Structure 1
Amino acid sequence: MMIDIPQLETSRLRLRALRFDDWPDYLAFLASPRAAFMDGPHTPATAWSYFCNDVAQWQLFGHGGLMFEDKESGAVLGQVALCKGPLFPELELGWFVYEAAEGHGYAREAATAMLEWGFRMRSEKSFVSYIAPANRRSVALAVRLGATLDERAKRPTPTTLVYRHQQP
């Protein structure tokens, strides 16, 4: 399957395909303690597998990761994704924000745009967000996005929380 990777825009952000020049900051994030809720910190080898997975899912499944950047400055602020592949029971809405961009509402803005795109372009009635219980900021964001805790959902690990985003 060949798919055109979407480019989405919000009032402040451009969501676009990953590029190789995103790799150094992506690696720095995944190698840092900030990646603790993504089974990190990661080695360059495991970070590379995450990066390639985010790119490959577009061609394999028609969904994947998008980097989000400030429309004015072009600064990359983080990533949002709809991912599944063989690793997750359901299609997941996930996100991460680089440290300098945290606390400005960028993740919510990017996740909202990705949800809207996902519901418009795909047949799923819901998406999930898999969140580590200690990741309070992501739990709070999932709730602000309108997701609810789904205790009966299948999960990638026994302790993972599953927040369900229903189609509007």
Structure 2
Amino acid sequence: MLEKVVLELEWEPAAAKTEELEEGLALYQVKLERGISEETLTGNGIVYITDRPDAVRERAGKDACILLFLTEGNRSGDWKDIPYAVESLEGLDGDFLEKVYQRHIGEPWEILETERLLVREMAEGDLEALYRIYDQADAGDFLDRLSADREEERAYMKSYIEKAYPFFGFGIWMLVEKECGRCVGRAGFCRREGFAYPELGFIVAKKEQRKGYCLEACTALLEYGFRELEFEGIQALVVEGNRASEEICRRLGGHLAENICWKGKKCLRFVWEAGQPLSSVDVMGARKL
């Protein structure tokens, strides 16, 4: 959990900006400190906002959590190991900086909640749950199949968590039943080569189907995609004959845009456009899906 934010800059930011940041952090019970001191270096949960990452690491250690403040002097540096950068203090708050810290320590972000589900990022501990979820014949229609080698899959999962989520700002997430904490499926967005719109993908474990989880999660995800991610449109591909997935897309208000052939598979392509009213789904009445 984030406890404090340390400003370590080569220049003095405007007082109004630091006061705004301090007030924003206070809402999340996070302290703001200016400059690194011996007291600063004690404790955990620290994010350093700095334009001098090497100097901070020299004092705070190579594992310090850094939010890079970009300037003309450091912009050309090689900062590939720092996933987040800003050019201003404006708009920074405890929620964003908490997420920066979570990413640093490998803790999955919580994306949203529905009545029964928590949608969160994948974690390395989800490996066995993934194999349980994908244990069905059509699991690899449009979401990548899992490797038969668990260690190979573990390495892929680690890379996906570290690279895909930060780079795109979205991905395929885990669906977790809030009542018991069990992973019941996956859903989220991906980019498919050759298409302009990001794609909605979903899968629910066999034993958890016919409970309405997929419809419940995807209803919330479509709203999230347009509101938070500012997508102009979203698509979904469904293999012809997959009646359950087709019905879900239709009940979500998807427009059947075209019939296409994708890598030898005859598919239906459903589309949702920004500004289009999404279907009001009675989730509790959709148990059979």
Question: Which band: TM-score by shorter chain?
Answer: 0.7 to 0.9
- Distance in structure 2 (CA, Å) of the matches to 1:88 and 1:31: 29
1:97 Cα offset (Å): 0.1
- Distance in structure 2 (CA, Å) of the matches to 1:165 and 1:157: 23
Alpha carbons of 1:122 and 1:39: their partners in 2 closer, same or farther (altered >3 Å)?
closer
- Distance in structure 2 (CA, Å) of the matches to 1:50 and 1:149: 33
- Distance in structure 2 (CA, Å) of the matches to 1:144 and 1:53: 34
Structure 2 residue aligned with 1:103, among 187, 201, 210? 210
1:27 Cα offset (Å): 2.4
Alpha carbons of 1:58 and 1:36: their partners in 2 closer, same or farther (altered >3 Å)?
closer
Alpha carbons of 1:166 and 1:7: their partners in 2 closer, same or farther (altered >3 Å)?
same
Give the match for residue 77 of structure 1: 184
Residue identity in the other structure for 2:220? A
1:88 Cα offset (Å): 5.5
- Distance in structure 2 (CA, Å) of the matches to 1:54 and 1:143: 30
Unaligned runs of 5+ in 2: 1-82, 85-95, 100-108, 278-289
Q: Can you list the C-alpha shifts for 1:76-114, whole angstroms capped at 9, x where unaligned?
A: 110111111x64623001100011110011001111111
Count, aligned residues: 166
Aligned: 1:162 with 2:266:
no
Q: Secondary structure at the match of 1:74?
A: coil
Aligned: 1:9 with 2:113:
yes
1:130 Cα offset (Å): 1.2
Structure 2 residue aligned with 1:35, among 139, 144, 158? 139
1:31 Cα offset (Å): 5.1
Give the match for residue 92 of structure 2: none
Aligned: 1:132 with 2:239:
yes
Aligned: 1:94 with 2:201:
yes
Give the match for residue 112 of structure 1: 219
* Contact in 2 for aligned 1:32/1:41 (Cα 8 Å): no
| Segment drifting more, 62-71 vs 44-53 | 44-53
Give the match for residue 59 of structure 1: 166
- Distance in structure 2 (CA, Å) of the matches to 1:99 and 1:39: 16
Q: Can you list the C-alpha shifts for 1:100-140, whole angstroms capped at 9, x where unaligned?
A: 11001100111111111111122322100111112111010
* Contact in 2 for aligned 1:70/1:77 (Cα 8 Å): yes
Q: Secondary structure at the match of 2:234?
A: strand
TM-score, normalization by structure 2? 0.50
Question: Alignment RMSD, CA only?
Answer: 2.9
Which of 1 and 2 has greater Rg?
Answer: 2
- Distance in structure 1 (CA, Å) of the matches to 2:193 and 2:159: 11
Q: Which structure shows the higher helix fraction?
A: 1
1:160 Cα offset (Å): 2.4
Residue identity in the other structure for 1:132? V
- Distance in structure 2 (CA, Å) of the matches to 1:105 and 1:51: 27
1:29 Cα offset (Å): 3.5
- Distance in structure 2 (CA, Å) of the matches to 1:39 and 1:65: 9
- Distance in structure 1 (CA, Å) of the matches to 2:270 and 2:149: 29
Matched-pair identity in %? 26
Residue identity in the other structure for 1:29? I
TM-score, normalization by structure 1? 0.82
1:7 Cα offset (Å): 2.3
